[in-house]
């Protein structure tokens, strides 16, 4: 039970302050405490409510701040807090040290002009406004510790892991800027919090892929399917070249030279030029597409100056009853599984056909070429397998 009546006031005196030596906190009243550390050091501490949150403020060491001065400081801070202000923010503003929110907005303003994506620029700040500012926005940047960052991240680390990961990176960016600007010393608190976060087991998600044994049946069904010819040609071309969706849909006629398709680095995921050997059926598809195309794109959409949309290919799979069983990107997995299980071609040949980056630095240092002729033979075999009709029945084999 709390005692009734007025709160204790001026419980300490100068003599007691000098003689107290047992570690602990000793109240003077109105939230002012004398804190005695196990080492014997003494300091003043004010506990009060700031903007709805209980906060503790250090008012200085007993050796430099007298009891009378501590009471005056405490009264000043309580007055600021009662008026809705933040005593620490005011104190640090006088010193030129920004709060985390002020620093974050400064970093956002200096970076956003260099961000090409306006949506990313907006999300960068919004994520901090949502998750960080309510908890650490009012803290001066030189007072933020690992526990403060954990306070922000722990509630969202598992249920919203990707968002939490981005918030952590953005907090790090702000505090790195503060250190470079002279507002902080020491290490960045985001660097030492991993052990304090719950373990996140990231689920492995793969694109649904059609088993390669069913591919010839799918190609037959695709060719007889009632759909826009350009869409059907684009999907078959994508399958036979084992390329990514946007690589195929944004292909232009000036990238074709006979039976070689050269995709520029700007359109490749790994930012490297990719040459694709085109087997006979792909050349035939190009000849058919040429009749339908009147613009720069091999597979135009409704407007000749724009390519087909990703949704056009996806709709074909859905209408063929493969929704959830296969994806457009998954045909690359079908190709990889077939190359691994059904051909004698080395792993690096099929990887080069998929334009995967060589992760082993030693191998990458020696493998300078693109294994083009071996890939040409591989893609011909893939074509022959995919469009095979001998022995094909109306029903694909059951798994």
**pLDDT average, residue stretch 196-207:** 65
Highest mean pLDDT: which range of 85-99, 239-253, 356-370: 239-253
| Structure confidence at residue 383 (pLDDT) | 95
How would you label 271-297 residue by residue, b for 16+ Cβ within 10 Å and e otherwise? eeebebbbbebbeebbeebeeebeebb
Lowest mean pLDDT among 86-95, 235-244, 341-350: 86-95
pLDDT tier, 394 (very low <50, low <70, confident <90, very high otherwise): very low
What is the distance between the alpha carbons of residues 97 and 75, in angstroms, rounded to a whole number?
23
CATH assignment of 14-85, given 2.20.25.90, 3.30.160.390, 3.40.50.300, 1.20.210.10? 3.30.160.390
What is the distance between the alpha carbons of residues 285 and 293, in angstroms, rounded to a whole number?
12
Q: What is the pLDDT of residues 337-346, one digit of tens each?
A: 999 999 999 9
| Structure confidence at residue 270 (pLDDT) | 85
| Structure confidence at residue 117 (pLDDT) | 72
**pLDDT average, residue stretch 68-89:** 81
CATH assignment of 100-196, given 3.40.50.2000, 1.10.150.130, 1.10.357.10, 2.60.40.420? 1.10.150.130
Q: What is the pLDDT of residues 53-64, one digit of tens each?
A: 888 877 888 888
| Structure confidence at residue 363 (pLDDT) | 43
pLDDT tier, 393 (very low <50, low <70, confident <90, very high otherwise): very low
CB 277 within 8 A of CB 260: yes
CB 300 within 8 A of CB 222: no
Domain boundaries, the chain: 14-85, 100-196, 212-386
What is the overall mean pLDDT for the chain? 85
Looking at domain 212-386, its CATH class is: mainly alpha
Q: In the structure encoding, which two tokens stand for residue 293, read together? A: 């195309």
| Structure confidence at residue 122 (pLDDT) | 84
Q: In the structure encoding, which two tokens stand for residue 232, read together? A: 């059907």
| Structure confidence at residue 196 (pLDDT) | 79
What is the distance between the alpha carbons of residues 100 and 107, in angstroms, rounded to a whole number?
10
3-state secondary structure string across the chain:
CCCCCCCCECCCCHHHHHHCCCCEEEEEECCEEEEECCCCCEEEEEEEEECCEEEEEEEEECCCCCHHHHHHHHHHHHHHHHCCCCHHHHHHHHHCCCEHHHHHHHHHHHHHCCCCCHHHHHHHHHHHHHHCHHHHCCCEHHHCCHHHHHHHHHHHCCCCHHHHHHHHHHHHHHHHHHHHCCCCCCCCHHHHCHHHCCCCCCCCCCCCCCCHHHHHHHHHHHHHCCCCHHHHHHHHHHHHHCCCHHHHHCCEHHHEECCEEEECHHHCCCCCCEEEECCHHHHHHHHHHHHHCCCCECCECCCCCCECCHHHHHHHHHHCCCECCECCCCHHHHHHHHHHHHCCCCHHHHHHHCCCCCCCHHHHHHCCCCCHHHHHHHHHHHHHHHCCCCCCCCCCCCC
| Structure confidence at residue 201 (pLDDT) | 62
Q: In the structure encoding, which two tokens stand for residue 238, read together? A: 């994508």
> What separation in angstroms does the CA of 286 have from each of 159, 164, 205, 220?
48, 46, 34, 19
**pLDDT average, residue stretch 143-148:** 90
pLDDT at 91 over 80: no
The percentage of residues in the chain with a pLDDT greater than 90, rounded to a whole number, is 42
| Structure confidence at residue 390 (pLDDT) | 39
| Structure confidence at residue 1 (pLDDT) | 47
| Structure confidence at residue 273 (pLDDT) | 93
pTM over the 0.85 mark: no
Q: How many CB atoms lie within 10 A of CB 183?
A: 18
């Amino acid at each position: 039970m709390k005692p009734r009546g007025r709160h204790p006031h001026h419980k300490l005196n100068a003599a007691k302050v000098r003689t107290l030596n047992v570690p602990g906190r000793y109240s003077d009243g109105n939230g002012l405490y004398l804190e005695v550390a196990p080492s014997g050091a003494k300091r003043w501490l004010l506990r009060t409510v700031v903007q709805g949150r209980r906060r503790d403020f250090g008012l200085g060491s007993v050796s430099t701040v007298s009891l009378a001065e501590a009471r005056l400081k405490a009264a000043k801070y309580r007055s600021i807090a009662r008026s809705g202000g933040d005593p620490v923010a005011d104190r640090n503003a006088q010193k030129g040290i920004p709060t985390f929110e002020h620093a974050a907005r400064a970093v956002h303003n200096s970076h956003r002009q260099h961000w090409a994506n306006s949506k990313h620029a907006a999300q960068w700040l919004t994520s901090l406004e949502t998750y960080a500012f309510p908890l650490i926005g009012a803290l001066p940047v030189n007072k933020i510790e690992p526990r403060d960052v954990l306070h922000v991240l722990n509630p969202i680390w598992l249920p919203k892991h990707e968002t939490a990961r981005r918030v952590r990176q953005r907090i790090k960016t702000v505090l790195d800027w503060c250190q470079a600007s002279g507002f902080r010393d020491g290490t960045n608190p985001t660097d030492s919090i991993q052990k304090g976060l719950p373990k996140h087991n990231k689920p492995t998600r793969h694109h649904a892929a059609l088993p390669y044994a069913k591919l010839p049946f799918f190609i037959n069904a695709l060719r007889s399917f009632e759909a826009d010819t350009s869409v059907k040609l684009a999907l078959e071309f994508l399958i036979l070249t084992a390329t990514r969706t946007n690589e195929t849909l944004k292909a232009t006629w000036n990238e074709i030279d006979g039976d070689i398709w050269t995709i520029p680095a700007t359109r490749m995921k790994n930012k490297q030029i990719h040459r694709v050997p085109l087997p006979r059926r792909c050349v035939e598809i190009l000849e058919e597409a040429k009749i339908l195309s009147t613009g720069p794109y091999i597979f135009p959409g409704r407007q000749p100056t724009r390519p087909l949309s990703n949704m056009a290919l996806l709709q074909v799979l859905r209408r063929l009853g493969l929704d959830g069983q296969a994806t457009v990107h998954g045909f690359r997995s079908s190709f990889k599984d077939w190359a691994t299980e059904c051909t004698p071609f080395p792993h690096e040949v099929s990887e080069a056909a998929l334009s995967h980056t060589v992760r082993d630095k030693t191998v990458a240092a020696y493998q300078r070429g693109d294994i083009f002729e071996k890939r040409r033979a591989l893609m011909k075999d893939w074509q022959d397998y995919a469009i095979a009709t001998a022995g094909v029945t109306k029903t694909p084999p059951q798994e």
